[in-house]
């Protein structure tokens, strides 16, 4: 298994050894509760506050604007539910997009079921939503409580025009949330340049541990309490802090900030080589939303005539780990909502694989993938009745 090629870094990343080293003392020697006033507790408290500073620095925020959570899903839910008044759901409006992660889409649907009017920005064939469409919705719903637009899409890597969206939100005096789980650590993210009021991020996407994330809350943003308990994190998010996890997130944020530029250049070159090689070696293959700005590590490719799940399993047996889309949707019968939202047919959506590269990805791994993937696609096409019929129709 040591020779496996892992191309699913959008799903999760390995914990960086430096992150693990930073965490280990807080499982044993420095195990204190960060809310305790004795020396052991204050050692933990100091580590939590250092991590808060490290996360804030990564997104150009202030430390007091960082709230630690259990991950991206909690952060998304807290941002969305926390900005709407539960007493008057039926009088409130919310704007999001059709290609959000399920953590946002399902939160929006839950609010719609309770009476909130939810409007969705459509994505074009390039995966992008347009500020013009948002402007139209804002004129229809000028009293919207919140706009929630993801920064980078988890399946396509598409980077939305968040600065323009932020300017519109400010013009209409509406709060803006972004799910930045897939952009933080891959792109330069500045909450002030983007003009966002709330931002979600997750540790395990940036070589930190699973089970910890953060929600950026701009000073003055009236987010309601989401969980109830003690007075941890200034009463905003109760529960004993996951000190080891928070320390890991902080260290991962520090490392990401230091290596972001070099990582981006190196990984994007490998991603581009992978795309070019597959397009040359696999007839009829294509890249979804190829013309749009994307995160440097992600490519979503269609291999017509091949069932994506079958190709995923065949590649897995040949030592390559990748995805048909969002890891959270593995095993889903329905085609990806993201791909159908940008106009892909159900058949092409089911023939799509996502390859996402990471900091450990090597040139040798990409070279091997460029041998294995085309061979596997060709073998599956030879036994695919759908591909045989399609090829016959095209001749």
Q: Is the pTM of this model over 0.85?
A: yes
Interatomic CA distance for residues 147 and 341, integer angstroms = 19
Contacts with 354 (C-beta within 8 Å, 6 or more apart), sequence order = 8, 10, 155, 298, 299, 300, 301, 322, 323, 324, 325
Q: What architecture (CATH level 2) is domain 5-12+260-394? A: Alpha-Beta Complex (3.90)
Beta strand ranges found along 203-317 (DSSP E): 213-217, 286-287, 298-302
CA distance 337 to 343: 10
For residues 259 and 251, is the Cβ–Cβ distance under 8 A?
no
Mean pLDDT by 10 residues, the chain (395 residues): 86 98 97 93 96 98 98 97 89 95 97 95 96 94 93 97 96 97 98 98 98 98 88 84 98 98 98 98 97 97 95 97 69 80 94 98 98 97 73 53
CATH 3.90.1150.10 location in the chain: 5-12+260-394
How far apart, in whole angstroms, are the C-alpha atoms of residue 359 and residue 259?
9
The candidate with the shortest Cα–Cα distance to 129, out of 156, 167, 170, 161, is: 161
3-state secondary structure of 341: helix
Instruction: Please give the pLDDT value at position 389.
Output: 54
Instruction: Express each pLDDT in 243-265 by its tens digit.
Output: 999 999 999 999 999 999 999 99
**328 carries an active-site annotation:** yes
Show Cβ contacts of residue 28 under 8 Å, excluding neighbours closer than 6 positions: none
| Residue 279 confidence (pLDDT) | 98
Alpha-carbon distances of 256 from 156, 223, 335, rounded to whole Å: 21, 28, 33
Question: Where does CATH 3.40.640.10 sit in the chain?
Answer: 17-255
Q: Give the tens place of pLDDT for each residue, 305-364.
A: 999 999 999 999 999 999 996 444 455 567 899 999 999 999 999 999 999 999 999 999
Closest CA to 143 of 181, 178, 111, 172: 172
| Phi, then psi, of 321 in degrees rounded to 5 | -100, 120
Given the residues 112, 327, 328, 371, select the one marked as catalytic: 328
Class of 17-255 in CATH: alpha beta
- Closest by CA to 354, choosing from 188, 208, 152, 180, is 152
């Amino acid at each position: 298994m040591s020779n496996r090629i892992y191309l699913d870094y959008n799903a999760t990343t390995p914990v960086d050894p430096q992150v693990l080293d930073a965490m280990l003392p807080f499982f044993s020697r420095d195990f204190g509760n960060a809310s305790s006033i004795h020396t052991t507790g204050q050692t933990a408290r100091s580590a939590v506050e250092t991590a808060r500073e490290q996360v804030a620095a990564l997104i150009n925020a202030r430390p007091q604007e960082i709230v630690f959570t259990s991950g991206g899903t909690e952060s998304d839910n807290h941002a969305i539910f926390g900005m709407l008044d539960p007493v008057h759901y039926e009088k409130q409006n919310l704007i999001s997009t059709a290609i959000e992660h399920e953590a946002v889409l399902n939160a929006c649907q839950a609010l719609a079921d309770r009476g909130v009017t939810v409007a969705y920005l459509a994505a074009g064939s390039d995966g992008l939503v347009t500020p013009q469409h948002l402007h139209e919705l804002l004129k229809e719903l000028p009293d919207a409580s919140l706009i929630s637009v993801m920064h980078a899409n988890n399946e396509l890597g598409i980077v939305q025009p968040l600065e323009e969206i932020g300017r519109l939100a400010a013009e209409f005096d509406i709060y803006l949330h972004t799910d930045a789980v897939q952009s933080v650590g891959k792109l330069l993210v500045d909450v002030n340049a983007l003009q966002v009021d709330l931002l979600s991020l997750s540790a395990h996407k940036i070589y930190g541990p699973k089970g910890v994330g953060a929600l950026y809350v701009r000073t003055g943003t009236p987010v309601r309490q989401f969980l109830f308990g003690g007075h941890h994190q200034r009463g905003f998010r109760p529960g004993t802090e996951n000190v080891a996890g928070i320390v890991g997130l902080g260290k991962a944020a520090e490392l990401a900030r230091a290596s972001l530029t070099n990582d981006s250049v190196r990984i994007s070159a490998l991603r581009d080589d992978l795309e070019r090689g597959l397009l040359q070696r696999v007839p009829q293959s294509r890249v979804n939303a190829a013309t749009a700005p994307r995160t440097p590590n992600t490519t979503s490719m269609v291999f017509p005539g091949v069932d994506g799940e079958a190709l995923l399993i065949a590649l897995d047996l040949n030592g390559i780990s990748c995805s048909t889309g969002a890891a959270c949707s593995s095993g889903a019968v329905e085609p990806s909502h993201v791909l159908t939202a940008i106009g892909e047919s159900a058949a092409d959506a089911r023939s799509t694989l996502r390859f996402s590269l990471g900091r450990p990805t090597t040139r040798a791994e990409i070279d091997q993938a460029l041998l294995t993937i085309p061979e596997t696609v060709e073998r599956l096409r030879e036994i695919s009745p759908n591909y045989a019929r399609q090829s016959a129709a095209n001749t």
